[in-house]
Structure 1
Amino acid sequence: MSNQQVAKYLVPGLVKGLEILLVLGQQNKELTFAELHRLAKMPKATAYRAVQTLEHMGFIIRNSRTNTFSVGSKVLLLGFQYIASLDVAQIGQPIIERLRDISQCNSHLAIRDGLDVIYIARVSSPSSQINHVTVGTRLPVHRTSLGRMLLTSSTREEFEQLYPHDELPDNSPGSPSSREQLWEMIQQDKARGYVIGESYFRYGISSIVYPVFNHEKRVQAVVSIMVPSHEIPKSDRQRLQEVVRDAALKISDLLGALPAH
């Protein structure tokens, strides 16, 4: 298709608006309207309509004191959404590899699919005697510390849609006995900001789990390590928590999450 053929399908107003944004981005400073329409090389009336539209939508903001314009926060949001659309496993793989090297523990990245936790990336420590999970392994959300952390961004309504009945499926020993108990555990995990599951799902194996947030401040994934002990030694606990937390923060940062307060 020739350039002339392509041009007839273009939306002129959109083109002009994007040209205004490009000018603001390239100048990296606040510009007056006169500077904008001159640098964008478009008629004043056309530039005025484009600026009014972009300002109304929050893509540019006006400084009322100087009557100048700059790029708005919504432009940054577009970038965050693009980053968040990338494969979380691809982003997280090198980070959990480094986590494995520092912690000397099997390291994992997992997401939630409905009522299941799915492992989407994992690396094993050469010295580990633990039978590691494989990528694609599914476990019940309500029976794992990873699953509980993945639910910490859920509203009560979303939670009840997942678990419409008070009795939980596959209510095995060691698992929450009811929906209400599970919800209380999730709220405690949310307030704490992490989960340490000592022999919670498998006897003799403990885990440390931290959430990975996306640009909407919702939990998109979790990072975890498996510690080959019934109870994590107090001498190692703080160090291991810190390295898992740092790995989760790095992935969250790459996903466009805002700094935690």
Structure 2
Amino acid sequence: MANVQASKYLVPGLERGLQLLLTFGAQHRELSFAELHRLVAMPKATAYRIVQTLEYMGFLERNARTNTFSLGMNVLRLGFEYIASLDVAQVGQPVIEQLRDSSQCSSHLAIRDGHDLVYIARVSAAGSRINQVSIGTRLPVHRTSLGRMLLTDVSRAEFEQLFPDERLPGNAPGQVQEREALWQMVLQDRARGYVIGESFYRPGISSIVYPVFDRDGRVAAVVSIMVPFDEVPHSDRERLRNEVRFAADKISGFLGYLPKAG
């Protein structure tokens, strides 16, 4: 019902323009107008006007030799300026590289965007056989240990706005299904100050996650390492946990966070 209500306020022209931009990807880096029109569900005249508008605004770029279109610099600017404006990606990259070297585990930096966590920096461990995520990858915030740590910054009211139904979206086996159960986990994570997610999202892969705080004491991001075991080996658990904590504290310091005395 909520989606039907929200759809009343959509701007058709904007929706179609974004739909057209989304046709470009790894499989469609350059497209002719005929190919574009075939891939989008809209009248030819409408598609033509949208293409002309997007080209004029720099969101599409025409190759005069092949008469094909590709994404323009303004699309890249939107993404890169958003990431750069966070500062955390820039200051965090060398820190997670150091974390990778000291832990010998792939390291990541992620933020929350609504219902999703978004990876904004990553480095792979040498010889890692773990299928790595890419920068910009989105995952459901309630299905991952990184997402749980990001949720520790929200109030109960904000949490219920994110998840208005008692049943959580999706039904992946072995993962928490009820909103209240997730909230109780988030409260425990907040009190503990970190998460060790052992095969929480992906079987055979564990993670250690710590929050990064901004100058206002809000959770700006999370730092994590991926450990290629069902359980983090007890012989390494404390060492790895302290290395992730140190990395998170270092990035927090760069962002101007001053921990409270005592």
**TM-score of the two chains, using structure 1 as the length reference:** 0.66
Q: Secondary structure at the match of 1:95?
A: helix
Q: Distance in 2 between matches of 1:87 and 1:255?
A: 8
**Does residue 1:178 correspond to 2:178, yes or no?**
yes
Matches within 5 A, 1:37-186: 86-186=86-186
2: distance between equivalents of 1:221 and 1:174? 26
* 2:179 partner amino acid: R
User: Per-residue deviation at 1:170?
Assistant: 0.9
Give the superposition deviation at 1:91.
1.0
For the 8 Å contact 1:99–1:244, the answer to whether it is kept is yes
C-alpha distance in 2, partners of 1:125/1:136?
19
Gaps of 5+ in 2: 1-83
Q: How far apart, CA to CA, are the structure 2 residues paired with 1:208 and 1:130?
A: 15
Q: Secondary structure at the match of 2:134?
A: coil
Q: Report deviation, 1:174.
A: 2.1
Write the distance in 2 (CA, Å) between the matches of 1:145 and 1:220. Answer: 16
Does the CA contact (< 8 Å) of 1:205 and 1:228 recur in 2? yes
Tell me the CA shift for residue 85 of structure 1: 5.4
Code of the residue aligned with 1:234 in structure 2: it is H
C-alpha distance in 2, partners of 1:129/1:196?
20
Residue matched to 1:197: 197
Following the alignment from structure 2 to structure 1, what is the Cα–Cα distance between the partners of residues 215 and 171? 34
Residue in structure 2 matched with residue 247 of structure 1 by the alignment: 247
Tell me the residue number matched to 1:218. Answer: 218
Please, which runs of 5 or more residues in structure 1 have no aligned partner? 1-83
- TM-superposition CA deviations, 1:174-212 (whole Å, max 9, x none): 221211011000000001100001111111110000000
What displacement does 1:154 show?
A: 0.7
In 2: Cα distance, 1:142 partner to 1:114 partner: 11
Q: CA deviation at 1:86?
A: 4.6
Give the 3-state SS of the residue equivalent to 2:249 in structure 1.
helix
Cα drift, residue 134 of structure 1? 0.8
- Match of residue 187 from structure 1: 187
Structure 1 residues 153 and 223, CA gap change in structure 2 (3 angstroms): same
| Structure 2 match to 1:66 | none
| 2:8 aligned residue | none
| Paired letter, 1:203 | P
After TM superposition, give the deviation of residue 126 of structure 1 in Å: 1.1
SS in structure 2 at match of 1:120: strand
> Could you tell me how far apart the structure 2 residues matched to 1:178 and 1:88 are?
32
* Offset, 1:215: 1.3
TM-score by length of 2: 0.66
RMSD: 1.3
Q: Percent identity?
A: 68
Deviation at 1:150, TM superposition (A): 0.1
Equivalent-residue separation in structure 2 for 1:125 and 1:105 (angstroms): 5
User: What displacement does 1:167 show?
Assistant: 1.1
Deviation at 1:131, TM superposition (A): 1.2
- Residues in 2 aligned to 1:138 and 1:86: alpha-carbon distance in whole angstroms: 17
Specify the alignment match of 2:21 in structure 1.
none
Distance 1:155 1:135 in 2: 28
Q: Distance in 1 between matches of 2:146 and 2:246?
A: 17
Contact 1:208 1:241 in 2 (8 A): yes
After TM superposition, give the deviation of residue 171 of structure 1 in Å: 2.6
Any idea what SS the aligned residue of 1:100 has? helix
> Which protein is bigger by CA-based radius of gyration?
1
Cross-structure match for 2:232? 232
